[in-house]
Amino acid sequence: MVIRIVGEAFAKWARGLFGFARNGYLIKFLAVGAASFAIDLGTLTLLHELGRVDLWIATPIAFLASLVFNFFAQRKFTFQSGTRAHVSFLKYGVLVVVNLLATDFIVNGIAAVGVSYAIGKVIATVATTVWNFLLYKHWIFKAGTVEAYSGLGSAPSDVLVSSEESAND
């Protein structure tokens, strides 16, 4: 009985993950994340190395530039969200603060038990990437109607839901 329930849950999870990959959400999410990292590092390098801006000033400027890029690229490119930008941006801001606190807690917690802080950073990055994807998809950029899929051609039948059904998810 337990094995059957676990098997069904895993199958449902795998179908969902395959659906995200098939619809391009996961691939686009990771591509935008990689581009955001490149913008962060590139801006930091340009400001600090070429512009001779102090590291403590250049780092947050570069990070904020990548955050703004990430928000708009995920909103329009990855999730084709039709939600109001200011509402999504407020939710995104809350998530950024949660990610910052979680990352700090994980990195320092791992280091406190004698494991390299770099291992903690990898664990924090994986964790935040997973929950960011889920929260972007289902909370920050949640599509409630077919209009949000206008750039994809015809919407898959599983997204043909009313706003009321969507709110109950």
Please give the single-letter amino acid code of residue 142. K
* Global pTM value: 0.68
* pLDDT band for position 169 (cuts 50, 70, 90): very low
* pLDDT band for position 168 (cuts 50, 70, 90): very low
**Terminal-to-terminal C-alpha distance of the chain:** 27
19 pLDDT above the threshold of 70 = no
H/E stretch holding 127: helix 117-135
Q: What backbone phi and psi angles, to 5 degrees, belong to 53?
A: -80, 135
Closest CA to 79 of 133, 12, 160, 7: 133
**What pLDDT was estimated at residue 167?**
45
Residues 6+ apart with CB under 8 A from 155: 146, 149
14 pLDDT above the threshold of 70 = no
Do residues 140 and 82 lie in contact, with contact meaning Cβ atoms separated by under 8 Å? no
Domain limits, the chain: 1-78, 83-169
3-state secondary structure 34-100: HHHHHHHHHHHHHHHHHCCCCHHHHHHHHHHHHHHHHHHHHHHHHCCCCCCHHHHHHHHHHHHHHHH
78 pLDDT above the threshold of 70 = yes
Q: What is the pLDDT of residues 81-127, one digit of tens each?
A: 988 999 999 999 999 999 999 999 999 999 999 999 999 999 999 99
* pLDDT band for position 6 (cuts 50, 70, 90): low
Residues 6+ apart with CB under 8 A from 80: 143, 148, 149, 150, 151, 152
Distance CA 94, CA 80 (A): 21
25 pLDDT above the threshold of 90 = no
**What pLDDT was estimated at residue 13?**
63
